[in-house]
Amino acid sequence: MKNLNFQVNLQGVIDLLSNHLYSEPGVFIRELLQNSVDAVTARKRLGHTFDETVKVEIFSSHTISFTDNGCGLTEEEIEQFLARIGGSAKREDQDSADDFIGQFGVGLLSCFVVSEEIVLITRSANEDAEPLEWRGKPDGTYSIKKLKRQVPVGTTVYLKAKPEFDDYFEYYRVSELLEKYGQYLPTPVMLIEEKYERTINESKPPWLMDKPEAMAYVEGIAYNKPLDIIPLTSVIGGVQGIAHILPYAVSLQDEKKHRVYLKNMLLSDRMTNILPPWAFFVNGIINTSSLRPTASREAFQENDLFFAVRDELGECIKRYLIELANRDADLFRRLVLIHYASIKTMAVEDDELYALFIRHLRFETSYGELTMAEILLDHRLVYVTTTLDEYRQVARVARAQELLVVNGGYVHDLDLVRKVTEIAEDVTVDILNTLEFANQFEELDLEDRLTVQPFIDQSDALLESFQCRSLVRWFEPADIPVLYNTNQDVNFFKLAEESEQRANELFADIVHVIRNDLYDTPYAKLCFNYNNPMVRKAMESNDPQLRKASIELFYTQALLLGNHPMGPAELRMMNDSLLQFMNRGLDGAEVAR
């Protein structure tokens, strides 16, 4: 038996890694910076003392160089670094010296995106190491030669731009990218062009700032003053950071853009998931030392550690909110006001935050818009509807009955209201059954009931084909003639009817079973208000034609007011009944004239 290796086309692999791993060409700057910083760290680990620096120099004809005085490379290490690519990510100890070599190679590959050749001059920090020059091409060929002249310990990388990437080698562009990625690096980074020289990273990282500094900093970059700054720390993730509370409302659908640094180097300025999804009222600026980056170093590996860190950061935000409620009631209220949707989502997800926020949340109720605190002040029994339509059907009447009904039709409101018993044990929350709602109204006395029965019978007969049943009660407010409640299943039933008629034999039979064995026929309810003068008048009429027209008018008006779709039969009914009244009225008027 012979063991063989796969033959891999090196050029293809380099192309794949360099052109498809990274999201934008500018990352070569970050990779070179990272290599320099890693080399400096590695040399420090050897116990050398030296003034660490990284120098980036811009030459004419679109060439740049990156120079560090880190540990440099030996010939053997150079031989290794391309061989180690791919092996690097799997090593357990990211900081080990071997790994530095592997990462170095991957980092260097990103340069092939913008450059046709990489020239590397290096002298290892090992004693008696000779200066070396390495030249590599994207087809995988390279040469190494020993240099005669002396060079200091460290590494310099020279790149010449491919024509289409010229602008990445211009002063302004390099400067911008260096600042973006490296402005908080601990090693001084100098940018040099001819005689002009400046240090890129003089500023203090935001995660080391105190609150006023951080506020000013965020205002500077975001052009508006944050509501407040929340300090973030995670011990297990080695995280320090700040979250600034946005001074304006954000949509739940918006992608979050947190700025995340790995050991002070910018990893991504648009990371979506380093904070929990409910925390969309803040933007984070975070530095971590122990999360593992992916191969492209543009995101983190989403392992258990990652999620543990995320939870820990979420805890920081939560603790801040709890503390804020006690410390600064005014700011707390503003926060609730601005980030209402976010807070609702949080409150549903988390019991502690629920207890903190629920009293401040506002609900649409039969008594107008109220906060939960206001609701709990006067009411021990709270009804909530499961849908908007149900709420609309009963709201006005409920108010007159002195019932507190909350509209649970908006996102999260039903869940928020149902949970209220967890913080107020003496309160009862019931889901309102609109169809049985009318049953609680005052019944008529026996005599009246007998009088109106023919009217109700007539109404039942007229509306049977619309699956609507009638009843009569005395209720407030008097200006509502009828209360019409649909059964929520009514549309589904029409749909099922359609299906049964159209479907093939097999499925018609199945739908038949669903309609008859799984559901009851849904009747809507039309409750006449005996307290309303129009209803009284119609009921007192002896003319069956007029009574018919009145019932039809009451019914169709109720449909119109409730926004219910009208079928052709119902439209015809409305027109006929109106015409009846018009005929009577107009004919009468003509006779009178």
Partner 1 sequence: MKNRYDELRRSSWSMPEGKQKLLVLEEMIRIADRYMTEEDAYNARTSYFAAAAEAGTQERMITAFAWCLAKYDQSPGSYSQHEIMWYYKWVIGMIWRFPVFRLEQIEAVFEDFKRRCIEYGYSLRTYYHKRSVYLLSRGLTQEATECYKQWRTASRDALADCRACEQNAFGHYLFSANQLKRGMQAVKPILDGKMVCRSIPQATYSEVMVPLLKLKQYEEAVAVGKKAFRTIKGPQFIEEQGVFLEFFTVTDLPKAVKIYNETIRYGLEYKPSWERFNYLLSVRLFLQEWHRKKRRKKLVEDGRVTLDWLEQEIASLADAFNRRNGDDYMLAYMTDKETHMSRMIEAFQQRVE
Rounded to the nearest whole angstrom, what is the least distance from the CB of residue 514 to partner 1 in the complex?
5
Which residue lies nearer to partner 1 by CB, 328 or 422?
422
- In eight-state DSSP terms, residue 122 is E
Neighbour-count burial for 231-259, b at 16+ CB within 10 Å, e otherwise: ebebeebebbbbbbbbbeebeeeeebebb
Which residue lies nearer to partner 1 by CB, 334 or 418?
418
User: In whole angstroms, what is the distance from residue 243 CA to residue 250 CA?
Assistant: 15
Residue type, 465: S
Structure tokens at 564: 């219910």
Rounded to the nearest whole angstrom, what is the least distance from the CB of residue 123 to partner 1 in the complex?
43
CB-count exposure of residue 296 (10 Å: 0-12, 13-18, 19+): middle
Rounded to the nearest whole angstrom, what is the least distance from the CB of residue 276 to partner 1 in the complex?
10
CB-count exposure of residue 366 (10 Å: 0-12, 13-18, 19+): buried
Which residue lies nearer to partner 1 by CB, 355 or 510?
510
Rounded to the nearest whole angstrom, what is the least distance from the CB of residue 548 to partner 1 in the complex?
26
Q: CB neighbours (10 Å) of residue 479?
A: 12
CB 310 within 8 A of CB 275: yes
Which residue lies nearer to partner 1 by CB, 86 or 140?
86
Rounded to the nearest whole angstrom, what is the least distance from the CB of residue 358 to partner 1 in the complex?
16
Q: What is the CA radius of gyration of the chain?
A: 38
Rounded to the nearest whole angstrom, what is the least distance from the CB of residue 468 to partner 1 in the complex?
16
Which residue lies nearer to partner 1 by CB, 396 or 515?
515
Which residue lies nearer to partner 1 by CB, 163 or 565?
565
C-alpha distances out from residue 441 to 50, 308, 476, Å? 90, 55, 9
Which residue lies nearer to partner 1 by CB, 224 or 303?
303
Rounded to the nearest whole angstrom, what is the least distance from the CB of residue 510 to partner 1 in the complex?
6
C-alpha distances out from residue 505 to 307, 498, 499, 500, 513, Å? 53, 14, 11, 9, 13
Residue type, 162: K
Rounded to the nearest whole angstrom, what is the least distance from the CB of residue 413 to partner 1 in the complex?
10
Which residue lies nearer to partner 1 by CB, 355 or 503?
503
What is the contact surface with partner 1 in residues (CB under 8 A)? 304, 307, 351, 386-389, 409, 411, 418, 421, 488, 491-492, 494-496, 498-500, 502-504, 506-511, 513-515, 517-518, 565, 567
Which residue lies nearer to partner 1 by CB, 269 or 520?
520
Rounded to the nearest whole angstrom, what is the least distance from the CB of residue 415 to partner 1 in the complex?
8
Q: In this structure, what are the phi and psi dihedrals at residue 67, rounded to the nearest 5 degrees? A: -120, 130
Which residue lies nearer to partner 1 by CB, 151 or 388?
388
CB 126 within 8 A of CB 74: yes
Structure tokens at 407: 């509209």
**Can you point out the beta strands (E) in 264-392?**
265-271, 282-288, 362-365, 368-371, 381-385
User: In whole angstroms, what is the distance from residue 431 CA to residue 472 CA?
Assistant: 24
Which residue lies nearer to partner 1 by CB, 46 or 571?
571
338 contacts: CB under 8 Å, gap ≥ 6:
227, 246, 247, 248, 249, 281
Rounded to the nearest whole angstrom, what is the least distance from the CB of residue 204 to partner 1 in the complex?
38
Which residue lies nearer to partner 1 by CB, 518 or 591?
518
User: In whole angstroms, what is the distance from residue 553 CA to residue 574 CA?
Assistant: 6
Q: In sequence order, what are the beta bridge partners of 136?
A: 118, 142
Which residue lies nearer to partner 1 by CB, 302 or 442?
302
Which residue lies nearer to partner 1 by CB, 507 or 581?
507
Rounded to the nearest whole angstrom, what is the least distance from the CB of residue 200 to partner 1 in the complex?
38
Rounded to the nearest whole angstrom, what is the least distance from the CB of residue 411 to partner 1 in the complex?
6
- Three-class SS of 88-110: HHHCCCCCCHHHHHHHHHHHHHH
Residue owning tokens 């990103």: 110
479 contacts: CB under 8 Å, gap ≥ 6:
532
> Degrees (nearest 5) of the Cα angle 347, 352, 354?
30
HSE at residue 361, side-chain half, CA atoms within 13 A, is 27
Rounded to the nearest whole angstrom, what is the least distance from the CB of residue 425 to partner 1 in the complex?
8
Rounded to the nearest whole angstrom, what is the least distance from the CB of residue 412 to partner 1 in the complex?
8
Rounded to the nearest whole angstrom, what is the least distance from the CB of residue 426 to partner 1 in the complex?
11
CB-count exposure of residue 387 (10 Å: 0-12, 13-18, 19+): middle
Which residue lies nearer to partner 1 by CB, 464 or 509?
509
Handedness of CA 578, 583, 586, 589 (dihedral sign): negative
User: In whole angstroms, what is the distance from residue 165 CA to residue 248 CA?
Assistant: 39
Q: CB neighbours (10 Å) of residue 459?
A: 27
